[in-house]
Amino acid sequence: METHEISNLKVVFLDAQSLQDMWKSKTGKPGTQFQPWLQKDLASVKTVRGFYDFSTETLYCPKWNYEVCGHELHHAALGHFHPNE
């Protein structure tokens, strides 16, 4: 069993476009990017679906999307765990 207390957590629900705009305003990076694959002419699209801002202790995610909010809540409780790009 693990217990984590997050005392100053703010949650902001946004629509998809507003979420991507917020990401860009916070990071300077676009919310949607093409990612090349290892195969010849194929690419994928990487889209920000939610994020946790450590500087303001704010969780940004789409409303009613428990998959994304649950993932981002792990960031709020446990910290960074994605590889740095």
Q: Does 83 reside within a domain?
A: no
Q: Does 24 reside within a domain?
A: yes
**pLDDT of res. 17:** 92
Instruction: Summarize pLDDT for 13-50 with one digit per residue, the tens.
Output: 999 999 999 999 999 998 888 777 766 677 777 888 99
Phi-psi region of 68 (alpha: psi -120 to 50; beta: other; left: phi over 0): alpha
Better pLDDT: 56 or 39? 56
How many independent structural domains does the chain possess? 1
Assigned token pair, 3: 């217990």
Cα 16 from Cα 65, distance rounded (Å): 11
Q: Does 84 reside within a domain?
A: no
- Averaged confidence pLDDT in the chain: 84
Range of the domain at 34: 10-78
Q: Does 51 reside within a domain?
A: yes
**pLDDT of res. 63:** 84
Q: Does 57 reside within a domain?
A: yes
Q: Print burial letters for 6-18: b (CB count within 10 Å at least 16), e (below 16).
A: eeeeeeeebeeee
Q: Does 2 reside within a domain?
A: no
